[in-house]
Amino acid sequence: MIATIIVACTVAVLLILVWQLTRTSTAGADPLQVWEVRGRQVNVDAFRLLVDPSEAAYLCKSTPRVEFRRLQRLRTALALRCVRTMAGNAALLMRVATLARQADHTEIVNAADRLMFLSFRVRMNALVAEAYLLLKWVFPVWGIIVPMPLERYERLLQTCDWILARYQHTPAQNRIVG
């Protein structure tokens, strides 16, 4: 019976994932166009305030307990949305970097490698931060510090801007084929 349950669960999970893969796969889409449509920057300073423990402490002192919990959950939900947007942007920039690596310019290729590595690290950090934020949403009073190295995300955007700026000045024959 246990074997049947394990097999049934495995098959169900596999079929759901395969269904999602074929539905959501944007493998054929041009990441630059996707970036134009879906790419959003997060207000990093606002995010810092949302996860700042001293802000939470001030809020705790100045508001009633119930109201503090409600506000803290709202702040956490917003921070979670920010982290998910950052993770989405990092995933998109990973695809941009994959394309940029096909360019002829060594400088652009090197920058694309950096972009890819940074995107991956931001993505990993976002996964951890998401878990922390979910915990924080469940226990709003808990003074847990969210580990999200924002300077890494900022460096990621800078690298992307650098590639885009360099790319605009490269001759047409060197441009990336998507």
Partner 1 sequence: MNTSNVTMALWITPIVIQSTIVLVMLHRKLVKVFPVFFFYSVLIPAREILLLLVRNHRALYFRTYWFTEAIVVVLSLGVIYEVVWHLIRPYSFLRRIALRFFWIVAAVALALGLILFLSSSWSGQWDSHFEIIILVERSVRFLQACWLIVLVLLMSRLGLTWQYYAVGIATGFGVFSASALVLLELRAHLQLITNETLALLNSTAYNVAVAIWALYFVPSRPRRVMIESLPNTEIARWNEVLSEYLKK
47 lies in the binding site for partner 1 (CB under 8 A): yes
Q: Which of 28, 54, 66, 171 touches partner 1 by CB under 8 A?
A: 28
SS (H, E, C) 46-93: HHHHHCCHHHHHHHHHHCCHHHHHHHHHHHHHHHHHHHHHHHHHHHHH
d(CA 20, CA 16): 6
Reference 163, options 42, 91, 155; nearest CA is 155
CB neighbours of residue 137 within 10 Å: 16
* Least distance in angstroms from the C-beta of 13 to partner 1: 6
6 lies in the binding site for partner 1 (CB under 8 A): yes
DSSP 174: G
Q: Which of 51, 56, 111, 176 touches partner 1 by CB under 8 A?
A: 176
> Which helix (H) or strand (E) element contains residue 121?
helix 106-138
**Cα 61 from chain centroid (whole Å):** 32
Q: Which of 76, 119, 125, 159 touches partner 1 by CB under 8 A?
A: 119
Q: Which stretch binds partner 1 (CB under 8 A): 59-67, 92-100, 137-145, 147-155?
A: 92-100
Total of residues contacting partner 1 (CB under 8 A) = 63
How many residues are present in the chain?
A: 178
Instruction: Indicate the residue among 18 and 145 with the shorter CB distance to partner 1.
Output: 18
Q: Which stretch binds partner 1 (CB under 8 A): 35-43, 51-59, 60-68, 143-151?
A: 35-43
150 Cβ contact partners less than 8 Å away, ≥ 6 residues apart: 44, 47, 48
**Cα 132 from chain centroid (whole Å):** 15
* Interacting positions 127-156 with partner 1 (CB under 8 A): 127
Binding site for partner 1 (CB under 8 A): 2-4, 6-8, 10-11, 13-15, 17-18, 20-22, 25, 27-28, 30-32, 35-36, 39-43, 46-47, 78, 81-82, 85, 87-88, 90-92, 94-95, 98, 101, 113, 116-117, 119-120, 123-124, 127, 157, 160-161, 164, 167-168, 172, 175-178
